[in-house]
Amino acid sequence: MEVLDYLLVVAVGVIAGFINTVAGGGSLLTLPVLIFMGLPPALANGTNRVGILLQNVFAVSGFKSKGVSVFPYAIYLAITALIGAIIGAKLAVDIKGELFNRILAVVMVLVLLITVFNPLKKKEIVQELMSPKRKALSIFLYFFVGLYGGFIQAGIGFIMIAILTVVNGLSMAKTNSIKVFVVLVYTFFAIIVFIIEDKVDWTLGLTLALGTSVGGWIGSVWSADKEDKLIRGFLILAVSAMAVKLWFF
């Protein structure tokens, strides 16, 4: 591989790290690039986790530096998600590309609609919805979030955002701070499975991680004090672009 190839991976990583932090879907950009570099899908899937892991280390640090955190709730969500992620990673085998991509495109659009219009939350309600029942529901749902995240990861951010905004009524800044922490925790355990199965290209993985780390830090610092409307606008653009890509390409 030439130097320009590695520079391309870094550049794509910066963009993906930013997108993953403020919305989601960055893996829908990085996975095709890794496959384009010659990696088989399973190896690209595992290699992509290196970038995701380090990206979220920096993203968590960025949110913390801005004083945005939701503990210990984020820990409870992370625990159930990592259990699902270990199972999902073990199930990560060949995925039938075209059908899977179209199903994912539909899911992403549905999640976008729920997140933007939030039919379960009345307009006059502005406080967070953190009753024990709602917390328990989100913790339960995050097991399935981890299951999917361990399996393929792409687009997981949209689902995580939908749960925390619809069920718990959290702001986008708090939602994103929880999201990057949970992904950090379950990715750490999921990547162990890929390492054991020898499904990680460390050279490309660390190159990608260089870019995603920068992008994750920029995204966390940028979005920490932005209004929900602005972040949701970015979310709409990201989901729409990824859904079109999945359906038609």
Summarised one tens digit per residue, pLDDT across range 67-112 is 888 989 999 999 999 999 999 888 775 556 566 667 666 766 776 6
Spans in the chain with pLDDT lower than 50: 120, 122-125
Nearest alpha carbon to residue 174 among 163, 184, 189, 186: 163
CA 65-67-73 angle, to 5 degrees, is: 115
Q: Which residue has the tokens 């699902």?
A: 84
Query: Domain spans of the chain?
Result: 3-248
- What is the model's pTM? 0.80
pLDDT at 38: 86
What's phi and psi for 24, nearest 5 deg? 160, 170
